[in-house]
Amino acid sequence: MSQATGELARRIDELMPRAQADLAELVAIPSVADPRQYPPEKCREAAEWVAAAFARVGLRDVHLAETPDGSHAVLGHRPPPPGAPTVLLYSHYDVQPPLDAAAWASEPFRLTERDGRWYGRGTADCKGNIVMHLTALRALGDDVPVGLKLAVEGSEEQGTGGLEQYVPPHADELHADALLICDTGNAAVGVPTVTTSLRGVVNVVVGVEALRGNVHSGMFGGPAPDALAALIRMLDSLRDADGGTRIDGLDCTGTWSGAGYDEGTFRTDAGVLDDVRLTGSGTVADRLWSRPAVTVLGIDCPPVVGSVAAVPAAARARVSLRVPPGTDARTAQEALVAHLEAAAPWGVRVSVERESAGAPFRADTGGPAYAALDQAMREVYGKPMSFLGQGGSIPLCNVLATTFPESEIVLMGVEEPRCLIHAPNESVDPEEIRRMAHVEALFLRYFADSRSSGRRPR
């Protein structure tokens, strides 16, 4: 480690109490971007906190920009030194609701230290990444070798697309040579990783009608077609015998060539019960990141409590399909619709409502930003950068790729499987904040050097 790098590490170590205090303040703001659940002024409070914090670390014209869905993105910039590139720093300040409060071991909106981790809603997704940015910039001080642009959005978890709609008509505000999308993280604690693949997602609501109304199962059950039974058959047809997704017209045999996902680790991370088998075939990584994956999100049918002896006349279900890179989302949605319609038994009437479609994403990893990031990760973690896929979707990445086709898009951050993002007892390992802040600060230096000299980092 060079003297300059060691000095940077020392500064970040000294800044970690400040990082903890920052995260405690942010976590205490219940910035759930759903006015049906939390007051909208809490999101405004979080946005203003973020704006003030980045203004204090040297960004200019930091302000709140209203986006088309009514949420506020925090935007700002810092001009580049002569000949230097510009880097966009992204994160989001809105969080998921805490869900079952009784399942939390501590107050969701109070930062709590336990077993070496910091617990609270948003500690990892994504307020921990905001703190990572701030810590990296504080460590660099006035010696920031690149231009900076900032975009911290306020409705990412709601999926209402505020920033996605804002970007194209405001491209000049956000254009940069490298875009650090800090809403992912490492394969495991201490394993430096970038996410290079995101699955897209398409949803449909399928309805089945078989009778004019419910009829007595004693008088008519048997020959009377059961709409719920028909729907169950249709949904079951979406999987083969081992539980893998099989949809007519879609390739469900893809393979993953990046970092793997140990099956035992996956079982623990996903909370799979003992003796319950995983579904599908191939490696866990194949199934997670390179193949379509269907999930029945909900069914409308008579509940057990209050049910009566009647043949259901109608039923419906919401079906979600995750789509790997290389598969067009709308094409996949139409294949799902056609499969369900073809699988309907007994001539029942089928209706399908098509919901939104989010495209998959695959990053180009051959540019100078990735080379600079690999160098930074090797220096901080002592091992080379790994490539990871992610089963979730970040539609903003496709908007950015279309709007800025020459820019490099990098997905990274402080998250890892033990964080339990979106679940009760979300947490972050403070060591990941420390290390990733160091990585980011080094990256800004190495990327500036590679772009100004025309050389790839060593």
Q: Could you list the active site residues?
A: 94, 156
Distance in Å from the first CA to the final CA of the chain: 14
What is the spatial distance between Cα 161 and Cα 70, in angstroms, rounded to a whole number? 10
**Amino acid letter at 290?**
S
- Packing angle of the helix pair 368-381, 430-453 (nearest 10 deg): 140
What is the spatial distance between Cα 426 and Cα 421, in angstroms, rounded to a whole number? 5
In degrees rounded to 5, what are phi and psi of residue 155?
Answer: -145, 25
SS (H, E, C) the chain: CCHHHHHHHHHHHHHHHHHHHHHHHHHCCCCCCCCCCCCHHHHHHHHHHHHHHHHHCCCEEEEEEECCCCCEEEEEEECCCCCCCEEEEEEECCCCCCCCHHHCCCCCCCCEEECCEEECCCCCCCHHHHHHHHHHHHHHCCCCCCEEEEEEECCCCCCCCHHHHHCHHHHHHHCCCEEEEECCECCECCECEEEEEECEEEEEEEEEECCCCCEEHHHHECCECCHHHHHHHHHHCCECCCCCECCCCCCCCCCCCCCCCCHHHHHHHHCCCCCCCCCCCCCHHHHHHCCCEEEEEEEECCCCCCCCCEECCEEEEEEEEEECCCCCHHHHHHHHHHHHHHHCCCCCEEEEEEEEEECCEECCCCCHHHHHHHHHHHHHHCCCCEEEEECCCCHHHHHHHHHCCCCEEEEECCECHHHCCCCCCCEECHHHHHHHHHHHHHHHHHHHHHHHHCCCCC
Q: Using DSSP bridges, classify how beta strands 361-362 and 193-198 pair: parallel, antiparallel or unpaired.
A: antiparallel
Contact 281, 244 (CB under 8 A): yes
Instruction: Describe the strand order of the beta sheet including 349-358 as a list of residue ranges.
Output: 293-300, 314-323, 200-209, 349-358
